[in-house]
Amino acid sequence: MTSPDPSATSRYPAGSAAFPHRDLTGLAELAPWELLYLMDEAEQWVDLNRSASKRDERLHGLTIINAFFENSTRTLLSFEIAGKRLGADVVNMHAAQSSVKKGETLIDTAMTLNAMHADAIVIRHQSSGAVQLIADKVDCPVLNAGDGQHEHPTQGLLDALTIRHSKGEIAGLIVTICGDILHSRVARSNIHCLTTLGAQVRVCAPPALMPAGIEQMKVTPYYDFDAALDGADVVMMLRLQQERMSGQFIPSPREYRHLYGLTLERLARAKPDALVMHPGPMNRGVEIDSNVADLAGRSAITRQVEMGVAIRMACLDVLTRKARGVEGWA
C-alpha cells in the first residue's frame, strides 16, 4: 500500500488555511485542493482507527444529529462511529420512527432539529436537493449522506482515498464505473471527485440506465463492458437501484449479469493489478460475482468501509472548526 504524504501542504493555494464551506452538500463545486484537503485530513484518522485507543476528544461537548430518511448501514454507522470517536454526542433520527410518519414536512423537521442547537446535522434523503433545502434553513453545518440521485459526497471522498491508498495518485488513472449510472448518486460524486483530481473516468451501463448528456460530466460512456474494462486501473461496480426505478429498465437480472456483471474472466481485461470497488450494498451474483468481490489483494470493498469512517471524522472535524473557535477558522 502506498501512503501519500499528508503534510504535503504545498498543494493548497496560499492563504487557504481554512476549508471555505460551511456545508458539504456535494463535490461538484469543490476545487481540487478542497478535495485533497479533506482526504489529507482523513489520513490521521486512518492511523488513529488502526490504533488500540481510537479516541480523540476534539468534538467533546458537540451534538451531532444523524437524520436518515432512507435506509443505510455503512453511512449511518460510520458517521455515528466518527462522531463518537471524536468525542461528540451523537443522536440518530430514523424517519420511520419519527413524526415524518405523521405528516411533518421536511422544513418543519429541519426547523425542529435546528431548535435543538445541533452543532452539525448529517442528512440522508430520498429526494435530490432535500439536503440543500435543509442546509438553507438551519444554523449549523450540514453534511449530505446521500440525497436521491444527486450526490453522496463522503462516498466520493472515501472512494478517492481508497484509490489513493492503493495507487498513490489519482491523476492519470483509468477508472471504469459500471452499473446503474442513471440512479446513482455515488456515480455522480465519484465522477465529480475523480475527474477534478485528474482521472480518466469511463461510465458503462445499459442504454436505459445511462443518463442523457453524461459526456458533459467529462466522462466517456460505454455500452460494452468488455471495452470499458480494457486497461482500467480501477473497476467500480454499482448495484441496480430497484427502489428508484419505475418500470422495467433491464430484461432480467440474469441477462444483466451476462452483459454487465463483473466476473473473474471479465476482470482479466483490466490491468493485472486493477482495483475492484463497490460502495455496497452488493447484490452478489448480479453486478459482481462473489469470487471477485472477495478477491484477496484486488478487492478494496472492505477498505472502502474503513476509509469511510476516517473521511467522516475528517469532515465532521473540519466543518465544526469555526463553531469550535479553532484558530484561523473563526
Q: Which is nearer to ligand CP, 72 or 126 (CB)?
A: 72
Closest CA to 125 of 181, 68, 76: 68
Instruction: Please give the Cα distance from 19 to 135 (Å, whole number).
Output: 17
- Catalytic, 75? Answer yes
Residue 164 Cβ vs ligand CP, minimum distance, rounded to whole Å:
18
Which among 25, 85, 109, 124 is annotated as catalytic? 124
Residue 192, H or E segment: helix 185-196
Minimal CB distance to ligand CP: which residue? 75
Q: Which is nearer to ligand CP, 125 or 152 (CB)?
A: 152
Other C-beta atoms lying within 10 Å of the C-beta of residue 266: 18
Instruction: Please give the Cα distance from 307 to 177 (Å, whole number).
Output: 19
Residue 308 Cβ vs ligand CP, minimum distance, rounded to whole Å:
8
Q: Where are the beta strands (DSSP E) in the chain?
A: 63-68, 89-94, 120-125, 142-147, 174-178, 200-204, 220-222, 234-237, 275-277
- Catalytic, 192? Answer no
- Catalytic, 271? Answer no
Which among 22, 58, 74, 324 is annotated as catalytic? 74
- Catalytic, 74? Answer yes
- What is the radius of gyration, based on Cα positions, of the chain? 19
Residue 179 Cβ vs ligand CP, minimum distance, rounded to whole Å:
13
Q: Which is nearer to ligand CP, 32 or 280 (CB)?
A: 280
Residues 6+ apart with CB under 8 A from 96: none
| Cell numbers linked to 275 | 482495483
- Catalytic, 102? Answer yes
Q: Which is nearer to ligand CP, 73 or 291 (CB)?
A: 73
Closest CA to 57 of 38, 76, 83: 83
Which among 75, 162, 176, 196 is annotated as catalytic? 75
Residue 280 Cβ vs ligand CP, minimum distance, rounded to whole Å:
5
Other C-beta atoms lying within 10 Å of the C-beta of residue 156: 28
Residue 309 Cβ vs ligand CP, minimum distance, rounded to whole Å:
12
Q: Which is nearer to ligand CP, 72 or 98 (CB)?
A: 72
> Which residues of this protein are in contact with ligand CP, per CB under 6 A?
72-75, 146, 152, 155, 279-281
Which among 85, 125, 150, 152 is annotated as catalytic? 152
Backbone angles phi, psi at 227, to 5 degrees: -65, -40
Which of the residues are catalytic? 74-75, 102, 124, 152
